[in-house]
Structure 1
Amino acid sequence: MSARQFVDEWQEWKTERERALADPHGWLALVSLDWLDDTPRRYGDLPGLWWQDAEAAYLDPEGAELVHEGEPVVGLRRFELVNSGAGTRVSAGDVEIEVANRSGYLIRVHDPKAPVLRDFHGVPAYEPNDEWVLRGRFEPFDEPRPTTVGAVVAGLSHVYTAPGVVRFTHDGVEHALTAFNGKGSGLSILFTDATSGVTTYAANRSLGVGEPDADGGVVLDFNRAVNLPCAFTDFATCPLPPEGNRLAFAVEAGEKLPHERS
Structure 2
Amino acid sequence: MSNDGVSATTLDPRLDFEAAWREWHRLHEEARADPHGFLAVTDLHWLTPGPQRFPDVPGEWHTGDEGPVVVLGAGGRLVIDGRQVQDRHEFGPIAERGGVTVGIEGGVLEVARRGGRDILRPRRPDHRLRVAYRGTATYPPDHRWVLSGRFVAFDSPRPTTVGAAVEGLTHVYDAPGQIEFAVDGVPLSLTAFNGAAPGSLSVLFTDATSGVTTYPANRSLAVAAPDEQGLVTLDFNRATNLPCAYTDFATCPLPPAENRLPIAVEAGEKTPYERLAVDSADRS
Normalising by structure 2, what TM-score? 0.88
* TM-superposed deviation, 1:54: 4.1
CA distance in 2, matches of 1:219, 1:237: 28
* TM-superposed deviation, 1:147: 1.2
Equivalent pair of 2:240/2:269 in contact (CA under 8 Å): yes
Which runs of 5 or more residues in structure 1 are unaligned?
none
Of residues 133, 149, 157 in structure 2, which corresponds to 1:144?
157
Alignment of 1:1-262 (within 5 A): 5-54=16-65, 56-62=67-73, 64-74=76-86, 75-83=88-96, 85-102=97-114, 103-185=116-198, 186-262=200-276
Question: What code does the residue aligned with 1:200 have?
Answer: T
SS at match of 2:240: coil
Listed one character per residue, the Cα deviations across residues 14-48 of structure 1 (whole Å, up to 9, x for unaligned) are 00010001101001001101111111221113111
RMSD: 1.3
Listed one character per residue, the Cα deviations across residues 204-248 of structure 1 (whole Å, up to 9, x for unaligned) are 000000010010000000000000000010100110001200000
SS at match of 1:211: coil
CA distance in 2, matches of 1:10, 1:235: 29
Which runs of 5 or more residues in structure 2 are unaligned?
1-14, 277-284
How high is the sequence identity, in percent, across the aligned residues? 51
Listed one character per residue, the Cα deviations across residues 153-177 of structure 1 (whole Å, up to 9, x for unaligned) are 1110001111110110111121111
* TM-superposed deviation, 1:87: 1.8
CA distance in 1, matches of 2:28, 2:190: 24
CA distance in 2, matches of 1:137, 1:47: 50
Question: What code does the residue aligned with 2:117 have?
Answer: G
Equivalent pair of 1:69/1:89 in contact (CA under 8 Å): no
Equivalent pair of 1:148/1:160 in contact (CA under 8 Å): yes
CA distance in 2, matches of 1:9, 1:209: 16
Q: Which runs of 4+ in 1 moved over 6 A?
A: none
Equivalent pair of 2:65/2:93 in contact (CA under 8 Å): no
CA distance in 1, matches of 2:174, 2:85: 34
SS at match of 2:257: coil
Listed one character per residue, the Cα deviations across residues 96-151 of structure 1 (whole Å, up to 9, x for unaligned) are 11111122111111110111101001110000001100000001111112211000
CA distance in 2, matches of 1:223, 1:69: 39
